[in-house]
Structure 1
Amino acid sequence: MRYVLLLLLGLTLIGCASNDEKDAIAADSGEQEIYDRAQGQLRSSNFDSAIRSLQALESRYPFGKYAEQAQLELIYAHYQAYEREAAVEAADRFIRLHPGHPNVDYAYYMKGLSAYNVNTDFFDRFLPTDAAERDINPAKEAFAEFNQLVTRFPDSPYAPDARARMVYLRNVLARHEIIVANYYFRRGAYMAAVNRGRYVVEHFQRTPAVPDGLAVMAQGYILLGMNDLAQDTIDVLARNFPDYPNLDEDGNFDSVYTLDGLQRNWLNKLTFGLFFPPEPPQFDTRRMYAE
């Protein structure tokens, strides 16, 4: 087994060495030759080699006719090679060096795409996860970048897609707040949960998370003994989302904890509250109210 592994390692090293030799750019290569080489590598999705060619083109011919185009295509190559941080850096550099370039909107667009995907890799395409449960900072950064694009270049061909992505990102950010609120319920931090719900209602209007935000507030107020605020919130929930799952036919709040107190299951009652306690309240109706 050891010899097999050594053989495979040797073949891998030989393959890498062969690729390096194949990708090596002759010292006397002209600007057009290097550029054409990079284009062929991009077309064949050989992005690692394309990155090396584009970097060589820019370093050897920094004032050549393809220098700026090479910088733009380097952003794309880094993005496609799953080097998202490098893509963000390349986009930042292009924006800084060429703020008035006719294609600078593309740099903003790619920076937004790269910022959002900075913590993802190739395997995330096949093992999808809930975006709202991941680190939310990249989503915030991406939203800010797309917002710059649509604000500065409203007529850009990339603006429609950027706006659509902003809608998606707002939904992700709002859902994240609900996920955190549900966590706070499990931890018994009821005021913290209320604050998360209120933040959704105040800052993420017209997102599918708003009804859950109201439910979080109502449940939190009930657990804090603030029944008047709870009833006011329930009234708002019933008026705007009468079909919400935690409302009965009369608009009363139906959850683990209601204005009438803890709703214990029959097993918990049978064991005099010693076993099978009710689960902490959790709210997630995103599929029901998804746009």
Structure 2
Amino acid sequence: MLNFKFVRHFSLLVVLSGLLSACTSSPDEIERISDRSPQARYQDAKDFINSELYNRAITILNDLESRYPYGPLSRQVQIDLMFAYYKADRYEEALPAIDRFLKLNPNHPQSDFVVYLKGLVNQEKGLNGFQEFFGLSNADKDMESSRAAFADFKKLIKKYPDSMYIEDAKKRMVTVLNRLAEHEIVIAQYYMRRSSYVAAVNRCKYVVEYYKDSTSVVPALKIMVEAYDKLGLEQMKSDAETVLAANSAS
């Protein structure tokens, strides 16, 4: 006859044995995880960044930021996290992190880099990678982020004149300026197709006045000449042709 009391005791011993085995079967692994210092984990994140494994780095940096918000590495962790967000194309996460950092650490030694990084994020935000790869124009996309990038780089130059990022920021401002001007040309061309000549002229005037250092000045003047011709405004057409000739020769 089966002794149910013995079976219950035996089953309990088996369960306990299994639990103890699970807890002790890999002591090296458990010790390795529990003893891993914040500095060691931070170095892991840096290694992932250097290997361009940005999402892996983000996982570690996010965990370090939440576990040690006031630790000796906290500010550097936040900066590296912003950078990893940027490189991983996670712009919607990068921008709030950048704004929060600048608000809480206005005098941090790396504030200039953070402002520069914000410009980089805004410059890249919203760009269509497929269009960029095939050399197609994306100037008809919303330019809000490009305007923000221009403002970020301008802030860097004004507030941190000795920053090592100044020269690159200036070059990027030229790129952004050309993109903004091209955007106006795309809209002007749209108005021309719809025979909205006055609206087209106004867009082109904006380019000539506010983006006079861009590569879109000559295209703007050509549109103005055509629009004035369609409107029958001969004197304005002649004036635009004179300015166009001067800019084409320069």
Output the TM-score relative to the length of structure 1. Answer: 0.70
Deviation at 1:65, TM superposition (A): 0.9
Q: Which amino acid aligns with 1:188?
A: S
In terms of fraction of residues, the more helix-rich structure is 2
Q: Paired residue for 1:86?
A: 93
SS in 1 for 2:139: helix
Q: Paired residue for 1:153?
A: 160
Deviation at 1:98, TM superposition (A): 0.7
Please, which runs of 5 or more residues in structure 1 have no aligned partner?
1-24, 243-288
Write the distance in 2 (CA, Å) between the matches of 1:125 and 1:200. Answer: 23
Is 1:31 matched with 2:38?
yes
1:168 is aligned, of 175, 182, 201, to: 175
2:198 is aligned, of 191, 200, 203, to: 191
Write the distance in 2 (CA, Å) between the matches of 1:231 and 1:138. Answer: 37
Superposed CA RMSD: 2.1
Q: Paired residue for 1:103?
A: 110
Deviation at 1:114, TM superposition (A): 0.7
1:201 is aligned, of 201, 208, 219, to: 208
Does the aligned pair in 2 maintain the 1:116–1:142 contact within 8 Å?
yes
Q: Which amino acid aligns with 2:226?
A: Q
Q: Paired residue for 1:269?
A: none
Does the aligned pair in 2 maintain the 1:31–1:64 contact within 8 Å?
no
Deviation at 1:101, TM superposition (A): 0.4
Cα deviation 1:222-245 (Å, max 9, x = unaligned): 211221211122122223325xxx
**Residues 42/224 of structure 1: CA separation in 2 closer, same or farther (3 Å cut):** same
Write the distance in 2 (CA, Å) between the matches of 1:52 and 1:105. Answer: 25
Write the distance in 2 (CA, Å) between the matches of 1:177 and 1:121. Answer: 18
Does the aligned pair in 1 maintain the 2:131–2:137 contact within 8 Å?
no
Deviation at 1:27, TM superposition (A): 5.9
Does the aligned pair in 1 maintain the 2:224–2:237 contact within 8 Å?
yes
In terms of mean alpha carbon deviation, does 128-137 or 189-198 score higher? Answer: 128-137
Write the distance in 2 (CA, Å) between the matches of 1:124 and 1:179. Answer: 16
Q: Paired residue for 2:126?
A: 119
Q: Percent identity?
A: 39
**Residues 156/204 of structure 1: CA separation in 2 closer, same or farther (3 Å cut):** same
Is 1:54 matched with 2:94?
no
Count of aligned pairs: 220
Larger Rg: 2
Write the distance in 1 (CA, Å) between the matches of 2:108 and 2:134. Answer: 38
Please, which runs of 5 or more residues in structure 2 have no aligned partner?
1-31
Q: Paired residue for 1:14?
A: none
Q: Which amino acid aligns with 1:205?
A: K
**Residues 56/135 of structure 1: CA separation in 2 closer, same or farther (3 Å cut):** same
SS in 1 for 2:206: helix
Q: Paired residue for 2:141?
A: 134
Q: Which amino acid aligns with 1:142?
A: A
Write the distance in 1 (CA, Å) between the matches of 2:125 and 2:110. Answer: 23
Output the TM-score relative to the length of structure 2. Answer: 0.81
Q: Which amino acid aligns with 1:194?
A: V
Write the distance in 2 (CA, Å) between the matches of 1:72 and 1:197. Answer: 41
Write the distance in 2 (CA, Å) between the matches of 1:89 and 1:128. Answer: 31
Deviation at 1:180, TM superposition (A): 1.1
Q: Paired residue for 2:74?
A: 67
SS in 2 for 1:45: coil
